[in-house]
Structure 1
Amino acid sequence: MPFVRLSGRISGKDDPSREVRARMLYQLFANGWDIYNSNGDQRITLSNIERKIVESDAFVFMPDASLEDLFKAVSIFVGYQTLDVHLFGKATVILNTDHSWDAMFGLLDRLRELGTIRQNYRKFLLQASSTDEVLQSLDRVGDEGLPDIGREKIMDCNADTFEKEFDKPLIGKVCVFCSASIEDPAYLSEGYELGRLLAENDLGCVSGAGTTGVMGQVVQGSVDAGGWTGGSNVPHIIELEGLPEGMTSFWLRPDIYTRMEAMIENSDSFVIFPGGAGTVQEMLALLIFKQMGSPLMAGKPVIIYNKPLPEGGGFWDQLVAMLEPWAGSGYYSVADTLDEVLEMSKAAVV
C-alpha cells in the first residue's frame, strides 16, 4: 500500500488537534493509505528529511502549523521547483481549517507578485478545508499527476568538492541566501555590490554556488573584488543553474538539506537577501536550528535584508509578518540598507 507522511505533533490527550488528526487518520487508512507519523511523535531534521521524502508517496500537513511544518512544506515545494526525482508525482496537501497556514500562503503569493516564484505554487501545495478534500486531492494527483514545473537542464554535472589556497586575511564568512531567478537589474546590482563589499571588508562570501539571478551576482562581486568565495550545491541543481567560476571553495552535497548544513557550518553570519521559496526555506532552517539551540548556530546572527520597494514597504514584509511569533526571540534582525547589513555582519566577528 502507498505511504502518506502526516505532519504535526500531538502533545497529549487534551491537544485540540487530536480530534481532527484522528478523523484524518481514519479516512486515510480506510482509503488504502498506510501512515507515517500517525501519532505525531516523529521529528524531521536536515539530516533525515530527504530519506523521509524518499520513503513517502504523498504528504499531508495538518492544522496548527509549527515552524518545522512550515519548513517542511516549503522544502517540498522547493524540491518540486528543482526537479527532485524523489518528489515526482507525489501529492502535497495542506489541511488549513484553522488558517494557521494563511501567513505562508500570503508570503508565497507576494513572492509570485514580485517575480521570484514563477510557478503557481497552489497547484503543488494543495490547500484543503476538510478531511474529505484532502482525500479528493490525493486521488486527483494519483489520477492526473502534477503539472510540469517548467524548467529544463542547461548542463551536465561533472563537479566535485575542491579547496583552493587563499592567502589574504579573513575576519569571518557571511552566507548570503538569495534568489537564483531574479532578473531585475536593481536587484542584480545590489547583489553584486554586496559581494564586493564583503570582499573589501575581509569577509568571505558563502552562497548556494549558482550562476543565475542575484546568487550569481553576489558570487561575481566577491570574485571580482578578490574575495574568498565558497559555496555548496547538488548535482541536479547544478544541471539547472550552472556552477560559478572563480570560487575558492566548493562543497558538493547529495541533497539540498546537507547542502544547507555545509553552508551553515562554514559561515559566521547569514543574510536573507531578496529571493523566492528557496530563500524562505533557508531562513526557516536557520530559525529551527536557533530554536533547537544547535551549536551550529551559536552566536551567529541572521539578518533579513528587507529591501525597500519603489511602491513602498519592504521586499520581506510578509516574511517578517509570518515570523511575528518569533519576533522577540532574538533569532534574527531586520536591516533596510546594505550598509546596515554590512555593519551587522562585521559586528558578528569583530
Structure 2
Amino acid sequence: MRRLAVYCGSATPADPAYIDNAREVGATFAARGIGLVYGGGRLGLMGAVADAVLAAGGEAIGVIPQALVDAEVAHRGLTELHVVGTMHQRKALFTDLADGFVTLPGGTGTMDELWEALSWAQLGYHGKPVGLLNVNGYYDGLVAFVATMAETGFLRPQHRDILIVEDRLDPLLARMEAHLPSTPIIHMRRDEL
C-alpha cells in the first residue's frame, strides 16, 4: 500500500486522545513510507494527521473542494493540494489516488466518505481495503449496526467482511495489507443476489 486515504473529522474533540491518535497515524504512515491522501484541511484530526506525516518527512496529499479553500480551511503546507469543484469529485479522486481507506473518528462528512467507500467495494467499483480504526470504542455503535445489517439480511454474507475493524493501527494495517476483495455485486449470479 503506497498511499492510503484517511477519512476523519475536521473538529477537535475535548478528549485529546483523538488528536493524539491522529498524530500517531500520521507518524506511522511516514515511518512506513505510506503516503497520506486526505481532505486537505488544516483543522482538527485532519490537520493533526497531515502535520504529523509532514513532520516525519512523509507525503501528504490533500483533496479539497474550492468552497472550503474559500472558507480558508485548506492546509497550505502539503506535498500536493488538489482543488476540486464538488464533494463527489473529492471522493472520486480519493479513490483514484489511494490504495485503500482508513477511517478515524469523525462526523457526518467522515461517515459519507466511509459509506461510499464501502458501497463502491460492494458493487465492485474498487477492490481496495476499507479500514475502520475504532479509537476508544468510538465506532462500537456502527460496528454493531453493521452486524445488524448482516443478521437481518441487508448485508450479504459475501460482503460482511468488507469493513476491516481494529482498535489499534498496526493490526488494522496488517489486515488491510492482506485484504482480498470480496465478490462484487456486479459479478454475482442472480441466485446470489
In the TM superposition, what is the alpha-carbon distance from 1:179 to its structure 2 partner? Answer: 0.5
Partner of 2:132: 304
Partner of 1:55: none
In the TM superposition, what is the alpha-carbon distance from 1:347 to its structure 2 partner? Answer: 4.1
- TM-score by length of structure 2 reads 0.81
Structure whose CA Rg is larger? 1
Partner of 1:213: 44
Contact 2:68 2:74 in 1 (8 A): no
Is 1:287 aligned to residue 115 of structure 2? no
In the TM superposition, what is the alpha-carbon distance from 1:241 to its structure 2 partner? Answer: 5.4
Please point out which of 293, 303, 321 is paired with 2:144.
321
Q: Aligned ranges for residues 1-350 of structure 1 at < 5 Å?
A: 172-183=2-13, 184-240=15-71, 242-294=73-125, 297-298=126-127, 300-308=128-136, 314-324=137-147, 325=149, 326=155, 328=157, 329=159, 330-347=161-178
Contact 1:182 1:275 in 2 (8 A): no
**How far apart, in 1, do the equivalents of 2:139 and 2:55 lie?**
28
Deviation per residue, 1:59-116 (Å, 9 max, x gap): xxxxxxxxxxxxxxxxxxxxxxxxxxxxxxxxxxxxxxxxxxxxxxxxxxxxxxxxxx
- TM-score by length of structure 1 reads 0.46
In the TM superposition, what is the alpha-carbon distance from 1:291 to its structure 2 partner? Answer: 2.1
In the TM superposition, what is the alpha-carbon distance from 1:306 to its structure 2 partner? Answer: 1.1
Larger RCO (CA under 8 A, 6+ residues apart): 2
In the TM superposition, what is the alpha-carbon distance from 1:345 to its structure 2 partner? Answer: 4.2
Letter in 2 for 1:250: L
Structure 1 unaligned regions, length at least 5? 1-170, 309-313
Contact 2:63 2:94 in 1 (8 A): yes
Deviation per residue, 1:172-220 (Å, 9 max, x gap): 1011100101333211111011011001101001100100100100000
Partner of 1:83: none
Corresponding pairs, count: 170
- Give the 3-state SS of the residue equivalent to 1:275 in structure 2: coil
In the TM superposition, what is the alpha-carbon distance from 1:346 to its structure 2 partner? Answer: 4.3
Partner of 2:152: none
4+ runs deviating over 3 angstroms: 344-348
Letter in 1 for 2:6: V
In the TM superposition, what is the alpha-carbon distance from 1:279 to its structure 2 partner? Answer: 0.8
**How far apart, in 1, do the equivalents of 2:41 and 2:60 lie?**
12
Letter in 2 for 1:322: F
Structure 2 unaligned regions, length at least 5? 150-154, 180-193
Letter in 1 for 2:18: Y
Letter in 2 for 1:341: L
More helix by share: 2
Contact 1:205 1:229 in 2 (8 A): yes
CA RMSD of aligned residues (A): 1.7
Letter in 2 for 1:208: G
**How far apart, in 2, do the equivalents of 1:331 and 1:306 lie?**
15
Range 223-232 or range 318-327, more displaced? 318-327
